[in-house]
Structure 1
Amino acid sequence: MASPGVYAKGVAKREEILRAALRVFERDGNAGTTMRAVAKEAGLSLAGLTHYFPSRDLLLTEVLFTVDREFEALYYERPDTGPGEFLARAMERNQADPVRVWLYLTMLAATRDPEHPAAPFFRDRFERFRTVVAQHVRDQQARGEVPAHVDPDFAARSLLAAADGIQNVWLHDRTIDMGAHIRTTWRLLIG
């Protein structure tokens, strides 16, 4: 069994690798983000990198998973923030860090192949999002805050579709306020 210090070093190294992968993706783009480039950026040999992440796609999927965990932690710290406002704030954070948007959309597009390593991540992510947002809408309906005719699952899927879509458009037109777009979409969905 590894000692706690060894485990902590491994966790820290994984986090550094994830940050290095994001830096390489930002600097060199999708095609230039190779395992060798990430290993060099992280100060590792290629064999050392593959000890942590056996493939580039698994590494980039873990970057996305880590970003999602950060956002989810913020959501659960502020349970009074509804999903529309929460996602609007996430879009505002993304505007400040465009490489995350670019990576997200690149990996999402790659999952048109259901065998892509990121496909399970996105399937789980979409289902988790739908479940949480739909339950929020049901709770609001029970309190009389959202009309009964609003379909909770439709609202959840539409909110996510609006977020993914506006990020794609925003990459081509940085004048768009993604947060405002999501707030308006949410109001229309539950109004």
Structure 2
Amino acid sequence: MPYVEASARSRQVVAAARRVLARDGVARTSLRAVAAEANVPLGTLQHVFPSKEKLLRAVIEDVVGEIAEVLKSSAELERGLEHAIRQGLTNFWSQLVVGDRNLQIMQYELSTHALRTPGLESLARWQYERYSRIVAAWCQEAAGNAGETCAVPFGRLARVLIASVDGLIIQYVCNPDATRSAEDLEDVITMLVALADVRPAGHGR
């Protein structure tokens, strides 16, 4: 087998894991199945990811990175927080929800699997902490670039945003009604913009 750098091997294995997780579900995904999907010996995979927990954590990190990239690339952050919320969530929905329903199912399975597996409970908490941090940083960057203030801490805005969108996602996954979900997403965006109550820096509240 030709030599492959560790970073490239890691990306190869994570990509294979995402395919297996989306196809077979979290509970039925094993290191052996991922090794077969990645076309690498099991021992090679275990050298990169010694446990299923470490592999699942890497998958979550990869998904978080994908979400961050979609948010940053889909909204001009110099146009302020309201624009970022509106444009970012609209593009996130079209690309990673409507465009990748299995990704959303996989993320929910990762959370419930971790919560139901002794010793893995912290993985679910870490998963949502990562989501919250990336969204909070994205919101703060958009507001900062435009010289704006937000009425609530960015961490709280991020948690409310994630909770609201999560609810819409699970409804869409169960019943993919595009018209209804688009209307509901617009209502959530309106709610989030009102919560943020964006104003130019230096203006009193």
TM-score normalised by the chain length of structure 1:
0.76
Kept after mapping to 2: 8 A contact 1:110/1:116? no
What is the aligned partner in structure 1 of residue 135 from structure 2? 129
Aligned residues: 181
One of 187, 192, 204 as aligned partner of 1:184: 187
Kept after mapping to 1: 8 A contact 2:132/2:158? no
One of 162, 165, 176 as aligned partner of 2:164: 162
Structure 1 residue 185 displacement after superposition: 0.7
One of 105, 112, 116 as aligned partner of 2:108: 105
Q: CA RMSD in A?
A: 3.1
Amino acid paired to 1:93: Q
Could you list the per-position Cα deviations for residues 65-104 of structure 1 after superposition, in whole angstroms to 9, with x for gaps in the alignment? 1122133234334424513421231122122112210111
Give the distance between the partners of 1:39 and 1:131, measured in 2 at CA.
35
Structure 1 residue 179 displacement after superposition: 5.3
Structure 1 residue 52 displacement after superposition: 1.2
* % identical aligned pairs: 22
Give the distance between the partners of 2:148 and 2:16, measured in 1 at CA.
46
Give the distance between the partners of 1:141 and 1:132, measured in 2 at CA.
14
Kept after mapping to 1: 8 A contact 2:85/2:193? no
Structure 1 residue 115 displacement after superposition: 4.1
Structure 1 residue 114 displacement after superposition: 6.8
Structure 1 residue 58 displacement after superposition: 2.1
Amino acid paired to 2:45: L
What is the aligned partner in structure 2 of residue 47 from structure 1? 43
Please give the residue correspondences for 1:54-93 in structure 2 after superposition, counting only pairs within 5 Å.
54-77=50-73, 78-79=76-77, 80=79, 81-93=83-95
Kept after mapping to 1: 8 A contact 2:25/2:109? no
Give the distance between the partners of 1:152 and 1:180, measured in 2 at CA.
27
Please give the residue correspondences for 1:8-19 in structure 2 after superposition, counting only pairs within 5 Å.
9-19=5-15
TM-score normalised by the chain length of structure 2:
0.71
Kept after mapping to 1: 8 A contact 2:53/2:120? no
Amino acid paired to 1:68: V
Kept after mapping to 2: 8 A contact 1:20/1:38? yes
Kept after mapping to 1: 8 A contact 2:67/2:92? yes
* Structure 2 gaps, min length 5: 195-205
